[in-house]
Chains A and B, each alone.
Chain A
Amino acid sequence: MVENLEKNAKETGIRHYGMHHPQQGIMHVVAPELGFLHPGMVVTGSDSHIATNGAFGAFGFGVGASQVKHILATQTVWFRRPKVMRVNVTGSLKVGVSAKDVILAIIEKIGIAGGNGHVIEYCGSAITGLSMEGRMTLCNMSIEAGARAGMVAPDDKTIEYLRGLPFAPTAEHWDNAVAFWKSIPSDSGAHFDKEVTLDGSLIEPMVTWGTCQDEACGITAKVPDPATFSDPARRGRAEKAISYMGLKPGTSITEIKIDRVFIGSCTNARLEDLREASKIAKGKQVVIPSIIVPGSQTVKEAAEREGLHEIFIKAGFEWRSPGCSMCTGSNGDRVPSGERCASTSNRNFEGRQGRGSLTHLVSPAMAAAAAISGRLADVRDFI
């Protein structure tokens, strides 16, 4: 498959960042860091996490293989105008709380189908306070709430991030491009089909306890009792999930023992993610098998320039080459059946990380805290 892709790209003249390219990596990490994504663009790809690019105020939505063929043949794709939802996260985030915790809290609130048929605009002070990398983590998981795309309005952070990147507008066009980007945020009186508000200052470091992303809670909570759920569909699903996950209602989340840790994926394998994890890992020792897989060659090299790899290797982490790795159980990086993994990826579906794997989704700092504790741990105890 890899060779075919290489051959086809060459024949058709499509730029290809292949396996041995010095800037290769996960598409949702590589494309933004090269400056391919600009505000106002329509971007598609055959992967649902293309929604990551909403961080730039670009409209990125995943399409299937037939639609990719359609795009290559016609430069267009059919898309019915979606409904729009605004998710307003007010206040400011507490120490130890990251973009990953924000998106898990949002999904917990609206449900995994809460965004179906909608495109989400994320706004509010807790969102504008996020870095571009944090916004990428946030938008990346829009699909986990059922939304094809999620966006953050471009602002000065967006513009500064793009300045000077290889595929950013050249000096000749820069001012025109910036003027256009500044013109595209939603009008103040814009109508939304659905509005949701969360208080960002109340969001805790989050953990999923089930097999869907809305089955999540704060680290200080307990595994819930499905009997207390008012929605019968979510109750039935939770009963199945808790049984699959081998948990008991009422158990403190911090009592859950973990067998391995994965820090990586298009959700959480950028430089800032690795920095956050390294702050927790510094001077400590992992007690379970733990791997770190940077999102791209560029991220890997930048991390090594800062010496992050030394912190991780000293702490007992495996420092790996870029790729999707254990998020999807790719290339032999699987969680063995019945083992429990604290993972910075985006899907905790049954068997996602390998047949019979048990996944707890967390932020990079929380994953590092789990690695040195051997159980799910509150990252705030390590700060």
Chain B
Amino acid sequence: MQPFTKYSAIAAPYFFPDVDTDKIIPHVFLRKPLSAGYRNFLFYNLRFTPEGKTKSFILHEPPFNKAGILISGTNFGCGSTREGAVYALTDFGFRAVIAPSFGDIFQANCLQNGLLPVVLAANVVEQLATYVSANPGATISIDLEDQSVTAPDGTVYKFAIDASRKEQLLKGLDDIGITLTDSKLIDDFEAAYKKKLAWL
């Protein structure tokens, strides 16, 4: 997993509430191998006609086609468990999504793939979305160590993140390696559990 430390990029606004995972990536693409790249599946039905022709959509328009930060509304990524929603965002080039809140499963999936979900107050997110809409190409900087977002106008906003998740993202550490350092604990639990619930 690519570490996330400091990151500055063009921010693209797609400021709508409850952007669900079916919208982020339609179900039909989930069987595609990762190696094929998920870039073009992102927001597919919003970006392309059924015949595959390009539709007018903000992520097609320069400079937003080079955006690395997405700004969206409350409950971003609600819906299914599909990790393809995260792959589509990262393959497009996004490394962070800023929103007032996220769907729980989507947020967990982000953290497994080095995509940083940044929660800021709803009025702040709206201001950022309005600013980058009016000033295409404006960049936002995120400093994970400092847990801060610097807006294009220089204003700094702090955000909260779980301490262990922060550490993992900073180091780009894989969950499995960390867990296996506790393998004795797991084995002991499993033995006791099987004894207690002998019917399983």
Q: Which residues of A contact B (CB under 8 A)?
A: 1, 38, 40-41, 46-48, 62-67, 69-70, 73-76, 78, 80, 112-113, 116-117, 143, 146, 148, 169-170, 173-174, 176-177, 180, 212, 233, 236-237, 240, 328-330, 337, 347, 349-352, 355
**B176 contacts A69, CB within 8 Å?**
yes
Residue in chain A with minimal CB distance to B178: A78
How long is the Cα–Cα vector from A349 to B20 in the complex, in angstroms?
8
A352 to B31, CA, bound (A): 16
Contact of A350 among B22, B27, B74 (CB under 8 A): B22
A237 and B17 contact, Cβ closer than 8 Å, known pairs A64-B83, A74-B179? yes
Which A residue sits closest to B81, measured CB to CB?
A: A62
Q: Does B104 contact A (CB under 8 A)?
A: yes
List the one stretch of B61-69, B90-98, B106-114 in contact with chain A.
B106-114
B103 interface hit (Cβ, 8 Å): yes
Which of chain A's residues has its CB closest to B82's CB?
Answer: A64
What's the least CB distance linking A119 to chain B, in Å? 10
Q: DSSP majority for the A interface? A: loop
Q: Which residues from chain A contact B196 at a C-beta distance below 8 Å?
A: 180
B86 at the interface (CB under 8 A from A): yes
Number of A-B contacts (CB under 8 A): 120
Distance of A167 from chain B, by nearest CB (Å): 10
Contact: B198 with A117, CB < 8 Å?
Answer: no
The answer to whether B113 touches A349 (Cβ under 8 A) is no
Residue among B82, B108, B196 with the most chain A CB within 10 A?
Answer: B108
> Measured between alpha carbons, how far is A252 from B86 in the docked complex, in Å?
40
A248 to chain B, nearest CB (A): 22
Residues of B whose CB lies within 8 Å of any CB of A are 16-18, 20, 22-23, 26-28, 31, 45, 50, 73-75, 78-83, 86, 101, 103-105, 108-109, 112-113, 162, 175-176, 179-180, 183, 186, 190, 196-200
Q: What's the Cα separation between A78 and B112 when bound, in Å?
A: 11
CA distance A69 to B177 in the complex (A): 12
Question: A66-B113, A76-B179, A78-B175 are known contacts. Are A170 and B199 too (CB-CB below 8 A)?
Answer: yes
Q: How far is the CA of A18 from the CA of B1 in the complex (A)?
A: 33
Residues in B neighbouring A169, C-beta threshold 8 A:
199
Q: In the complex, A212→B19 CA distance in Å?
A: 10
Asked if A46 meets B81 with Cβ closer than 8 Å, knowing A64-B105, A112-B75, the reply is: yes
Q: Does the CB pair B112–A233 fall under 8 Å?
A: no
Given A67-B112, A76-B186, A173-B199, verify A148-B104 contact (CB < 8 Å): yes
Contact of A176 among B73, B80, B199 (CB under 8 A): B199
Instruction: Judge whether A355 and B45 touch: CB under 8 Å.
Output: yes
B17:A236 contact, CB within 8 angstroms: yes
Report the separation of the CA atoms of residues A317 and B179 in the bound assembly, to the nearest whole angstrom: 51
Q: How far is the CA of A233 from the CA of B123 in the complex (A)?
A: 12
What residues of B have a CB within 8 angstroms of the CB of A236 in the complex?
17
A74 adjacent to B186 (CB under 8 Å): yes
- Asked if residues A349 and B23 are in contact (CB atoms below 8 Å), the reply is yes
Say whether B79 contacts A64, CB under 8 Å.
no
A217 to B: closest C-beta gap in Å: 18
Residues of A within 8 A of B113 (CB): 66
Closest A residue, CB atoms, query B87 = A65
Beyond the given pairs A116-B101, A236-B17, A349-B79, 14 more chain A to chain B contacts, judged by CB atoms under 8 angstroms and listed by A's residue number, are A41-B200, A48-B79, A66-B109, A66-B113, A113-B74, A113-B101, A174-B199, A176-B199, A177-B199, A237-B18, A328-B27, A337-B50, A351-B26, A355-B50
Which among A65, A328, A329 is the interface contact of B83 at CB below 8 angstroms?
A65
9 pairs of A and B residues whose beta carbons are closest in the complex:
A169-B199, A66-B112, A173-B199, A64-B109, A64-B83, A62-B81, A65-B83, A113-B75, A349-B22
Residue numbers in B under 8 Å from A240 (CB-CB): 16
